[in-house]
């Protein structure tokens, strides 16, 4: 099949540092190409892919020239796919709502994977305006705010099996990986680690808008010894960071649509301790790949139980459930269904 993939422009595909959506797109494109499909990736010019790159904007917006207008970049993305829509059998968008008016007016089958939270004002009205547009969720929980959308599948993320080497040693510290925002739970992670008398290492991005939060709430508690901030990490540094941890703390306070870091930890054989929110019960198998907890007290007790989990089983369950090949196969099935519904021959 000739497949177009539309990526956000904030980060390259894959991202240099932080960026879950762009990582998933990169893995998906590579797997589809390996399966023999003709895939074109519409993304920033600094992206790297096994498919054909259609560079929409010279560089990813977050690390590129300051002051670039994201709306201008998105307009060029939509124009690029509008010009080339007929070159493809199916168009797969990862850019939320903005391409829908254009995609809905072509005769080319398309679908949109929603990567973010959907409990925001105004979204039911958008769904009402595009009632026939097909959507894919990345967890069942993600759908709850918009049950009336035309959901055609839930496809959980997957990553390449050989991307991370597992470690089956116990690990010497607790890990926190993600943005340093209140809804990701870094304050809880610090308190949990201290109460459990375990060192905590935080590999995290500090968003510009959260500088005051970091200065006021987190920095006073980061002593460089028991609690260390190691900054953002790329994939090469992420592997030892996760593999050498006793467990990953994921004390979120928001409806997490998926939580890629959880399966990255599992790929390293590292169990996850996560609050019962959003997609967590769909990703973590309680007592097998980690522990699902309700609050700090249960999390502290769970830290002391990490040693009874078999890290080889954690890795095995990752391979069985969250490999990129499985993800790509599920998307390919959806593509074929959409193409067949339009009566087209790929």
Average pLDDT over the chain reads 95
pLDDT over 70 (residue 344): no
Pick the CATH number of 2-160+323-341 from 3.40.50.2000, 3.30.420.40, 1.20.1440.230, 3.10.450.50: 3.40.50.2000
Whole-angstrom distance, CA of residue 178 vs CA of residue 158: 18
Residues of the chain within CATH 3.40.50.2000 domain(s) are 2-160+323-341, 174-321
Q: What is the pLDDT of residues 41-84, one digit of tens each?
A: 999 999 999 999 999 999 999 866 666 899 999 999 999 999 99
Cβ burial 109-128 (10 Å sphere, 16+ → b, else e): bbbbbbbeebeeeebeeebe
Q: Give the predicted TM-score (pTM) of the model.
A: 0.94
Cα→Cα distances 64→11, 16, 45, Å: 9, 12, 11
Q: What is the pLDDT of residues 234-269, one digit of tens each?
A: 888 999 999 999 999 999 999 999 999 999 999 999
Percentage of residues in the chain with pLDDT exceeding 90? 90
**Ordered strands of the 38-44 beta sheet:** 52-57, 38-44, 2-6, 90-93, 110-113, 134-137, 150-154
| Cα radius of gyration (the chain) | 20
**Partners of 44 in the beta sheet?**
57
- Return the H-helix or E-strand segment holding 332: helix 324-341
Q: What is the pLDDT of residues 114-130, one digit of tens each?
A: 999 999 999 999 999 99
Considering the domain delimited by 174-321, tell me its CATH architecture.
Answer: 3-Layer(aba) Sandwich (3.40)
Least confident piece of the model among 146-150, 153-157, 179-183: 179-183
């Amino acid at each position: 099949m000739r497949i177009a993939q539309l990526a956000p422009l904030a980060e390259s595909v894959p991202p240099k540092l932080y960026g879950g959506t762009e990582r998933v797109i990169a893995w998906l494109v590579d797997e589809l190409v390996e399966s023999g499909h003709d895939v074109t990736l519409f993304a920033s010019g600094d992206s790297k892919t096994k498919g054909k790159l259609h560079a929409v904007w010279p560089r990813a917006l977050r690390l590129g020239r300051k002051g670039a207008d994201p709306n201008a970049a998105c307009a060029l993305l939509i124009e690029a796919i509008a010009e080339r829509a007929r070159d493809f059998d199916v168009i797969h968008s990862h850019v939320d709502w903005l391409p829908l008016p254009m995609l809905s007016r072509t005769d080319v089958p398309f679908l949109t994977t929603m990567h973010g939270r959907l409990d925001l004002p105004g979204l039911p009205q958008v769904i009402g305006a595009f009632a026939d547009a097909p959507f894919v969720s990345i967890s069942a929980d993600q759908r709850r705010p918009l049950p009336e959308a035309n959901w055609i599948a839930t496809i959980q993320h997957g990553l390449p099996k050989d991307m991370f080497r597992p470690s089956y040693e116990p690990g010497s510290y607790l890990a926190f990986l993600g943005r340093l925002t209140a809804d990701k739970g870094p304050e809880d992670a610090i308190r949990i680690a201290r109460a459990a008398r375990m060192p905590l290492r935080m590999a995290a991005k500090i968003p510009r808008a959260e500088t005051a939060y970091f200065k006021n709430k987190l920095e006073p508690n980061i002593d460089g010894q028991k609690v260390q901030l190691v900054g953002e990490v790329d994939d090469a540094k992420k592997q030892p960071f996760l593999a050498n941890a006793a467990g990953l703390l994921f004390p979120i306070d928001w409806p997490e649509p998926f939580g890629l870091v959880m399966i990255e930890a599992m790929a390293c054989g590292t169990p996850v301790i996560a609050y019962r929110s959003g997609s967590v019960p769909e990703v973590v198998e309680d007592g097998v790949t980690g522990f699902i907890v309700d609050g700090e007290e249960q999390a502290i007790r769970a830290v002391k139980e990490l040693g009874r989990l078999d890290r080889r089983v954690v890795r095995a369950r990752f391979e069985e459930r969250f490999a990129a090949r499985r993800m790509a196969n599920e998307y390919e099935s959806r593509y074929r269904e959409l193409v067949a519904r339009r009566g087209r021959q790929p």
